[in-house]
Structure 1
Amino acid sequence: MAAPTNTGAAQGVFLLICFHFFACRFSCAQQLPGTWEVVLENAGIASMHTAVTRFGNVVLLDRTDIGPSRLLLPCGRCRVDSTDTFLPAGGQDCSAHSALFDPSTRRLRPLSILTDTWCSSGQFLPNGTLLQSGGDLDGLRKLRAFSPCSFDDGQCDWMEIESPRLADGRWYATNQILPDGSVVIIGGRAAPSMEFYPPSRALRPFPFLDATRDAQMDNLYPFVHLLPDGRLFVFANVRSILYDVDTGDVVREYPVLDGGPRNYPSGGSSVMLPLEATGGYARAEVVVCGGAQYETFLHRQTDAPASTTCGRIAATDPDAAWALEEMPFPRVMGDMVMLPNGEVLIINGAQAGSQGYEMGSNPCLNPVVYRPDQPTGTRFMVLTPTEIPRMYHSTANLLADGRVLVAGSNPHYFYRFEGAFPTELRLEAFSPEYLAADKDGLRPSIKSAPEKAWYGDDFEVVVETALPLVGQMEMNLLSAPFATHSFSQGQRMVRLSVSSTVAVAEGGAPYRYRVVCKAPPDGRVAPPGYYMAFAVNQGVPSVARWVQLLL
C-alpha cells in the first residue's frame, strides 16, 4: 500500500516554485543592462541611411521614389520629378526625404535631396563632408555631398554633384575610405567592379563579385574593412579575400565561413575589432554575425529561422581561420556597432526571414553586447529589450555621448502605418550599461583636447574624474560610419598608445589628469578625417571630443 500524500501541500509547493520562477524571470528582465528612450516621436521619414557628423548632429536619409513623407520642405524647395508615378499630377514633391537631427536639443530640420538614394552608399571624406553615392533610377550614377554645419547655422544642405558621375551604376554598393583619403566604391547590383572618388584611378573589374553571386545575389553590400597594412578584407556571401588596392591583386582567399550566406539579402552584419597600439597595430580581427538560410529570400520563406552564429577571423594572420560562436538569439538585419570601450553592440533585426520588403518576421527586440576579450562561450550578454520592432531598413549609430541612436524600420515598399511592422518614424536612443548612474564616479570628462592631430605625433588630453583614477586612462578613436542595410561602412576603432597619465593637481574631487597619447602612425591604421576621441576609465567612456586626423 502506497504511503499517503498531502496533495494540497504538494500543489502549494509547486505553485510557490512557479511563482518564484516567473517572478525571477520578470525581475531578471527588469534588471538587464541598458536603457531605452524615445528621443523623437516623429522624424517624418524612416531613415534607411544614417550618419553622425562632426558637429554631433545626425543625417537621416530615405529614398525619394516612395511618395510623400510626413516631413514638409520649406516653401519653394519642392522636388519636381515627372517620372515619379507616386507623386501628384505634375510630379511635385514638397515633402522631405532627408533631415538633420540634433540629439542634444531634439530638433529636426528638413533637408533637400533630389535624386533617388534607394539602397545607396556613403562615406565621410577627410574634410568632414559626407559623400553619398548611387541609388536607383535617376540616382544610379549620381554623387552627392553634404558639408555639415552646426544645427543653429541652418544653412548646410545636400548638393548634387553634376560632374563627375559614377562610371558604373551603384545600387547596393559599399564605400570605404582609403589611407590617402580617397574613397573606393565597390560592387552593387549588376556591377562587379570598383571605382574611386576622386576619380584619379580608372574603373576596375572586380571578378570576386561575379564568383560569389548566387541566385538571390548574396554578394550585395559586401562587407569591406581596411586592414592596418593598407589592404582590404572583402567578404561576400560566404567567401572572403585579401585585396591589394594599389596593385589590383587578390593576395589570398580565406576559408569559407560556414553557416549560410551573410550579405544582402541574407542580412548579416560585420565589424572589425579595435586595432591595438600594443604590437604596432599589426593585427586585425573581423567578426561576421547573423544571416539567413540559403534561398530564404528567393522562396520568400519569411518564417525560416535566421542564423545563430558569428564567425571570427584574424585576417592578418598567415594561417587565418574562422572560429564559430553561438549568439543568444538568431538574427537577421541586425546592426553591429563598435562601442567606445571596445565591445560590440548587436542590435535591431528579426529572428526569421531575410532582408527585403515583407520578408522578415519575429522581431529581435533584445540587443546583445559582444565582449571580444572574454573567453569563448562567455562573450555575449543579453541587454534590455526595446518595445519597438526594428526590421528592414533600420539603422544604429554611435553618438558622441556614448549612446546609440536607433532609427528607421520600413519593411514595406511605401510608407504604411497600419498592420504588421508599420513604418517607424520614432527615433530611440539606447544607453549601454556604462552610462548607468552607478558608473558616474568612474565616468571621465574631457576638459581639453586638440582639434587636430598629425600621424605619429604626441598630444595631450586633460581629463577629470569624480573618483581618483586607478591605473591608466585609455584614449580611443572611433570613426563616424555610414550605416545602412545592417553594415556600417567605414566603421573603425583605434586604441591609442598612452605614455603617461599624470595628476595635474592635488586636492580632491574632481580629480584632474594630463593624458599623453600618440596619434596613429599612418592612414592605413586610421584614414585621415574626423574621429570621436573618447577617454575611457575602467570601461566607462567620456563624452567624445571630435579630433581631425591629418596627413
Structure 2
Amino acid sequence: MGHDHTLLRSSVRCPLPSMSIRLAVALLLMGVVAREGQTVLAQTGTWQVLVKNSGLSSMHTAVTHMNTVVFLERTNQGATSLLLPDGKCRNDPSDQYLKKDCYAHSSVMNLANNAIRPLMILTDTQCSAGQFMADGDLQQIGGNFNGIRGVRTFTPCPATGKCDWVETATKTQVDRWYSTTQLLPDQRVIVIGGRTVPSYEFIPAKGLKVQPLQFLKDTLTTDKNGQADNWYPYVHLLPDGTLFIFANTKSIKLNFVTNQVVKEYPILPGGPRNYPSGGSSVMLPLSFVDGFKSVEVLVCGGAAAGAFTIAEGRTKFLACQQTCGRMRVTDAAPKWSVETMPVKRCMGDMLLLPDQNVLIINGAEFGSQSEGRATTPVLTPVLYQTNTPSGRFVTMAASTIPRMYHSTANLLPDGRVMPAGSNSNRVHKYSKVPFPTELRLDAFSPPYLAASQNPKRPTITLSPGSVKLGLTFLVRFAVTDPKTVIGNVDVIINNSPFTTHSYSQGLRMLKLQTTAPKAVAGGLFEVTVTAPPNANVAPNAYYMCWVVNQKTPSKAAWIRLT
C-alpha cells in the first residue's frame, strides 16, 4: 500500500529536544515494557497497533452501528496511499492537485478484522461537520471549495457490503466551513457557525431561513492572520430542549425555537479554547438519579492568546493551556471551577468512557491548530475521574505515535479507544518534515480492560434491537465470576459522535435506571432498564449500551431509541 511507517520512537522528530528525554524518563518511571506494537502496563492501559498503513490520514472519524468505522480526510490535496477500487477515478477540473484523482479520500474499516475498504467522496470535506441521524445514516455537512455547501450521506451496511457516500441534492443556505452540528429532538440537524458565518440553520430547512447569532460575532478574535477562536463552537443539547454553546471563552444558552439567547454564562478564564486554539469539550454523563436534569460541561485545554499568529513562521510556539473548566450549567448561578491537568495540551480529544470517566488523548504542548503551527506532541493520555472529589487526573500509558493537527479519537464498541490521523501538512508528506503524515491506526485499552478485571466483566446475552423512549426493556448478561455481582450494576448508553478537530460533535452519555440484578437460569443475570424519558434527553438514534459491573464494562450492544 505504499508508505509503511515503523513504530520506532526515532521517527518522532521534534524541534524541542527535551521531548524525547521527558518521554524516556516517563516510560522508565511508569515501568513500561514494550513488545511488538504493544505497551504492557495494565494499571494505566495498554496500546496496540491495529493497522500499519491505513492508506489515508483521517481528519473526521465516526463509528457506525454496523461495527464499522468511517474515515474521511479531504479531496483537493493530491494522492493518498489508497486507490479507489475497480479503476474508479474522480474527475474534477477544479481540483488544485489532481484533475483525475484515482485515490480514495474516505474509507471504512471492519472492526472484526481491521480490513479497510476504500470509499468514494466527490466533494471537498476539509474541516466539515457531521452527525448520525435517527435511522443511523451519517450526514456530513459543508467543507471547503466545491464542498462548502455540500450535504452527503453514508448509510452504514454490514462490513461485507458495498455502501458508499452519496452526494445529496440538499445544500446549506450559506457556506459552512469549520461549523458544528447537533441532532435535535425533532430529528432535524442544526448547523452552527463556521468561518466568517455567525449564524445557524437547519437541515432540512423546512422553509426556515438562516438565523443570525450575534454571539458568534462577539466571540470572534480577529487579526491579520485570521485567528478566530470561535470556529467549531462546542454545542451540547440540554435536557430542556435548549442548546449550550461555547465559543472562545464565553458561553450562552440558546432557545433555537424562538431564536433567543435565554442565558449568558460567566467567562472561562485562561484564554481561548475553540479553533484554532484547539481545546475540547464534553457534556458529562446525564443520570436518571436527578431525572436527567442536572448538566455539567467540561472544557479542557486550548492555546495561548495569539499562539496561531506567533506560530506563522513555524519557528516560535507558545505554550498551550493546562486548565480545565467545569460548570454545572443548570445551576441558578453557574460558576466555572478551574482544574489543572498534568500537562499542557491543545488539540486533545475528549471522550466519555463507559465507566463515566473522561479520557483526554492526542495533542501538543506548544502552538495551536492549523498546518505546522504546533510542536512537542503529548503522548500520554489522561483519565479525568468524573466523580472523584480530588486528584481527578491520572496519567495513562504513553503512546509512541504523535497525533496532533487533523487527528481524531473514538470509543469503540469493545471499550477500546482508537486514535486516527494526524497530518500537520498541507498535503501528504511522509518524510523530511518534523511531523510526517500519519497512516497508522492504533488502539488504547483503558485500565478497565486489564486482565485483572476479567472476573468482573459482563457479557451481554440479550438486549433489544430497539426500544421506545420512556419504556422499559430487559437486558441479560453473564459474568465470568458471578460472585463479583454485588449490589447494582450500571447500564450506560452513549451515542456515536462525529469526531473532528478535537471535538466530538453530538456526543452524549446517560446512566439509566435499572432494577437490581436478578439471577436467572444458566448462570445469567437480568435487569429491567428504563429508557430515557424523551428526545430532549436522548434524541432518537443508535446508542451503544453497556452493562458496567464494579466499574468494568461489557462490550456494547447497539440499541436504537425510537
Letter of the structure 2 residue corresponding to residue 143 of structure 1: V
Indicate the SS of the match to 2:456: coil
Structure 1 equivalent of residue 122 of structure 2: 114
Aligned equivalents of 2:439 and 2:376: distance in 1? 20
1:280 lines up with 2:287 in the alignment: no
Match of 2:55 among 44, 66, 70: 44
Match of 1:242 among 238, 246, 253: 253
**Residues 311, 374 of structure 2: 8 Å contact kept:** no
Match of 1:101 among 103, 109, 119: 109
Aligned-residue offset at 1:500: 3.1
Could you list the structure 1 runs, at least 4 aligned residues long, displaced by more than 4 angstroms after superposition: 22-25
Structure 1 equivalent of residue 413 of structure 2: 400
Aligned-residue offset at 1:228: 1.0
Letter of the structure 2 residue corresponding to residue 198 of structure 1: P
Aligned length: 519
Structure 2 equivalent of residue 267 of structure 1: 278
Aligned-residue offset at 1:103: 2.0
Match of 2:370 among 356, 378, 381: 356
Provide, for residues 110-142 of structure 1, a one-character-per-residue CA deviation record: whole Å limited to 9, x for no partner.
000000000000000000000000000000111
**Residues 39, 103 of structure 1: 8 Å contact kept:** no
* Unmatched segments (≥5 aa) in structure 2: 1-23, 33-40
Aligned-residue offset at 1:24: 10
Aligned equivalents of 1:435 and 1:195: distance in 2? 42
1:157 lines up with 2:168 in the alignment: no
Structure 1 equivalent of residue 21 of structure 2: none
* Unmatched segments (≥5 aa) in structure 1: 1-21
**Residues 462, 515 of structure 1: 8 Å contact kept:** yes
Provide, for residues 73-130 of structure 1, a one-character-per-residue CA deviation record: whole Å limited to 9, x for no partner.
013421011111211xxx1000000000112211000000000000000000000000
Letter of the structure 2 residue corresponding to residue 179 of structure 1: P
Aligned equivalents of 1:471 and 1:39: distance in 2? 37
Structure 2 equivalent of residue 6 of structure 1: none
**Residues 310, 317 of structure 2: 8 Å contact kept:** no
**Residues 260, 291 of structure 1: 8 Å contact kept:** yes
Structure 2 equivalent of residue 499 of structure 1: 515
**Residues 136, 156 of structure 2: 8 Å contact kept:** yes
Provide, for residues 329-360 of structure 1, a one-character-per-residue CA deviation record: whole Å limited to 9, x for no partner.
00000000110110000000001100010011
Indicate the SS of the match to 2:171: coil
Q: Superposed, which structure 2 residues align to 1:451-490 within 5 Å?
A: 451-468=465-482, 469-490=485-506
Aligned equivalents of 1:545 and 1:197: distance in 2? 29
1:375 lines up with 2:386 in the alignment: no
Aligned-residue offset at 1:202: 2.5
Letter of the structure 2 residue corresponding to residue 192 of structure 1: P
Structure 1 equivalent of residue 155 of structure 2: 147
Aligned-residue offset at 1:23: 9.7
**Residues 487, 516 of structure 2: 8 Å contact kept:** no
Provide, for residues 360-394 of structure 1, a one-character-per-residue CA deviation record: whole Å limited to 9, x for no partner.
11100000000010013x10000000000001000
Letter of the structure 1 residue corresponding to residue 110 of structure 2: D
Match of 1:341 among 341, 344, 355: 355
Aligned equivalents of 2:277 and 2:414: distance in 1? 32
Aligned equivalents of 1:181 and 1:396: distance in 2? 26
Letter of the structure 1 residue corresponding to residue 303 of structure 2: A
Structure 1 equivalent of residue 539 of structure 2: 527
Structure 1 equivalent of residue 187 of structure 2: 181
Aligned-residue offset at 1:505: 3.1
Aligned equivalents of 2:303 and 2:146: distance in 1? 31
Aligned equivalents of 1:28 and 1:515: distance in 2? 39
Aligned-residue offset at 1:499: 2.3
Structure 1 equivalent of residue 38 of structure 2: none
Match of 1:209 among 206, 216, 222: 216
Indicate the SS of the match to 2:455: coil
Provide, for residues 8-63 of structure 1, a one-character-per-residue CA deviation record: whole Å limited to 9, x for no partner.
xxxxxxxxxxxxxx999725242451001110111110000000000110000001
Structure 1 equivalent of residue 554 of structure 2: 542
Indicate the SS of the match to 2:273: coil
Change (3 A) 1:230 1:70: same
**Residues 395, 484 of structure 1: 8 Å contact kept:** yes
Indicate the SS of the match to 2:492: strand
Indicate the SS of the match to 2:127: coil
Structure 2 equivalent of residue 318 of structure 1: 332
Aligned equivalents of 1:23 and 1:437: distance in 2? 26
Letter of the structure 2 residue corresponding to residue 542 of structure 1: S
Match of 2:399 among 386, 407, 417: 386
1:416 lines up with 2:429 in the alignment: yes
TM-score (norm 2): 0.91
Provide, for residues 242-281 of structure 1, a one-character-per-residue CA deviation record: whole Å limited to 9, x for no partner.
1111111101100000000000000000000000100100
Identity rate, percent: 48
Change (3 A) 1:489 1:25: closer
**Residues 29, 384 of structure 1: 8 Å contact kept:** no
TM-score (norm 1): 0.93
Aligned-residue offset at 1:328: 0.3
Letter of the structure 2 residue corresponding to residue 495 of structure 1: K
Structure 2 equivalent of residue 3 of structure 1: none
Match of 2:64 among 53, 67, 71: 53
**Residues 477, 532 of structure 1: 8 Å contact kept:** yes
Aligned equivalents of 2:513 and 2:444: distance in 1? 29
